[in-house]
Structure 1
Amino acid sequence: MKTHHGFLALRTSLRRGFTLIELVIAISIVAVLAGAAIPVTAKVLTYKARKATREELQVLGDAALEHFRDTRTIPTTVSSLMVDSNVAGWSGPYLGGAVTDQLTGTSGFEVDAWSRSYRFTVSGDQLTIASRAEDATFGNTDDISIVVDVGVARREETVAELKLLNQSINAYNATYLATAPLSMVWSTAYSTLVTRGFLPTYTGYLTDGWGQAYVPVGTGSPLVELTSTNLAQSQAGNGNGNGNGNANGNGNGNGNGNGNANGNGKNNGKANGKGKGKGNGKGKGKGNGKN
């Protein structure tokens, strides 16, 4: 009997020891898996936070552009997109559906996915809205930002306004060109158009989207068309310039060559014209003239 009890005690001891070893192994495996999963989880969370921040920055950028279209001023805070601060023309709110951030208690649009405030920076016609991202520090490579160029809105306004103004000028000239030609001074011509009922009273028609006066096309009187010097400049900045070159014809006269980036040109004499387009790059085109 003693032998039998001793054998049972040994088996029980072995079973208890084996169970303990199993627990140690299981805990070790779980620890290894957890250690491997934590970095992966952190990367996933960071990816999602960056994605959400980029999407919100796009929303903020669109709202800032609409704010500028209405007020002609560039917003410098998120709150100016949501609350009227007595800016002329404000037609907001330009952001909707915001929820309260749980950590800061502010509007969800005012902070990024890490609950940190966005930074607005204005330089000329460009507004940069930035998030310091995961490292919580501005100026590092992980920063997320969007650049809003309000020059786009200025150009849109100018093009639309010029269309209206030139239609009014054409309508006036169809009736009064011979008897009361328009002055080449735009402010004077504008007053005439208002007096005759071809334009409403709106002093904004005197200047383009950049706040500069419209100018006549050509130099001879009367006024037949307006333009903006800023439109040509904005085209040059976008690299969409047309080049004009002059060449002497080898024939009965002189030929003027007009070249553009597509390489099309016309001359009155036999000549080759070359033009360079203004922009970020230069494009050369050659035009073959016909006599």
Structure 2
Amino acid sequence: MQNFLFTSPEKKLTCVYWRISAWIEDGCHVSETNSTHTVCSCEHLSTFALIMTVDQTLDSNPVVDVLNTIFVFIGLVFLTLAVMTFALCRRNPRVSNVSRLNLCVCLLLAQPLFLFTQSFLHLIRPNEVSCKVLAGILHFLFLCCFMWMSIEAVLLFLSVRKLKQVKPNDRAGLHWKLSLLIGYGIPLIIVGVSASVWPDGYGSHKCWLKTENGFVWSFLGPAYFILAGNTILFLTILITIHSTLKGAQSDVSKCKYTR
């Protein structure tokens, strides 16, 4: 399909087709373009069009940009300190820092990668493969963050549940190898299945998951499920702690350990 359009080369042109009630870009791309014409290439038959973004310049607030950079840097510094703390400080043998450590590591990897992708989106987006790869990596890292939050909530629940029957050498929780298998294995399976079912679901205009065909729910579904489960566990933990403290007032040592 060839469209003749007199415009400057720096304008962004997008080849699209009509689907139900919206223009969709999937399966179409700009083969070549200059100041006089644009050639679109599509993998299917439909009603095609060429969309031009007239003005992509958004007003930015320099103060907000500076504050954003400062706070992101502060957040990364504290995440680094948290990783060092959980990795080096192990005073209590009954407490495992595996879930907290891996949660901080995943956040430390995901946050700068996401900010890098969004900051250089104009350079990454034209390279479709790079955009899809970054979207897949971000999908995996963010799922890992939610999964490690879920593991930490389960470990806390197991620890609180054993307060009344606690022994000095008890260690509530999962083995670190099993935690690693769950924390990284389940997100890897979700990403692998999602990529095999619809490979083109990665690489939206923001280099993230596309909303077509409900593909974005491969991230939102597990995230909402984990948040709902963590909320239930949190309420259960509060109720358990309250009942344990109420019944342990006569036992000073147990009460101290419970607190």
- Do Structure 1 and Structure 2 share a fold, with TM-score over 0.5? no
Larger Rg: 1
Q: TM-score, normalised by structure 1?
A: 0.22
Q: TM-score, normalised by structure 2?
A: 0.24
